[in-house]
Each structure stands twice: as C-alpha cells, then as structure tokens.
Amino acid sequence: MNTKRPDPEMINLAGPCGFYCGTCRHYLARVKGKLAEKNLKAGCEGCRIRDKNCAFIKKKCALIRKREIDFCFECDDYPCKHLKKIHNRHVLDDDIHMIDNLVRIREVGPEQWLKEQEELWSCPKCGGKVCVMDRECYDCGYRPT
C-alpha cells in the first residue's frame, strides 16, 4: 500500500484508474464555460475533488472509495476486471491506455505524469486544452490530427 500520500489538490486530475481528467469533456466544458454549447447538464471538477462514486472504478472498489489507495496499481488485484473494462473502452473510443498511464505514474510519480499530460494534451495552435473525447481544443476549436 502507498506510504507517502500525494497532495490531494495536486492529484485531482490524475484519476485512480490512470485517466487524465484534464482532457475529459465534462471537466473541460465546466472550466471553459461550454456546458450548454456541448449539450451537457453539469460538468466535473475531477474525480477526486467531487468525492462521489465514479461510475467506473471508485463505485466498485472499496480501497479507492475508502481512500486506502490513491491509484489502482497499489492494489493486490491490479489490474482488476473493472480496470480492464474501462481501459478497453478508452482504448477503443479514445486511444487512451490507462494501464500504461498507471505504469508511468508508478515510474515517475503523479506530479511528473501530470506535467507530461499537460504538455501532451496542449493545443499546438493556441496552447489551450484538447479534449480527448472530442479531439478538439476547447479554447480555439482546433482539431489536431
């Protein structure tokens, strides 16, 4: 189990499952004031700060729900069937490899991983944020290939 607890504010956008919440449609629409434009009722502040059961991992994992671990890789059952299911969905839908992300988080720590994700998902045109689901910059509308 994890002995050093990361700063909760710092890791808010680093999902326990290895998803970078800073690229999520629901997060970006909220922070960019585009909920109506994106036809969303409510946005998201990141999976950790909401302190709600996420629809995927947290709801099914008592260790994450009780905050006994920060990331799925800290579990003895890693990667569990729930993680594999959401990983496979994001691979197919978004070309995001959450298990690979978790490996990287374990290697470099959440702080460095978040810096890498910020750079990876920055718009090459304006420096804004690109949504992983829409493949669109929510600042300037650019669609990187």
Q: State the chain's mean pLDDT as an integer.
A: 86
Q: What is d(CA 123, CA 18) in angstroms, rounded to the nearest whole number?
A: 21
**What's the confidence (pLDDT) of residue 54?**
61
Whether the pLDDT of residue 1 is over 50: the answer is: no
Q: In the chain, where are the structural domains located? A: 21-137
**What's the confidence (pLDDT) of residue 91?**
92
Tens of pLDDT, residues 43-99: 888 777 655 556 566 667 888 888 889 899 999 999 999 899 989 999 999 999 999
Tens of pLDDT, residues 131-141: 999 999 999 99
The predicted model gives 3-12 an average pLDDT of 63
pTM of the full structure = 0.86
The predicted model gives 34-47 an average pLDDT of 86
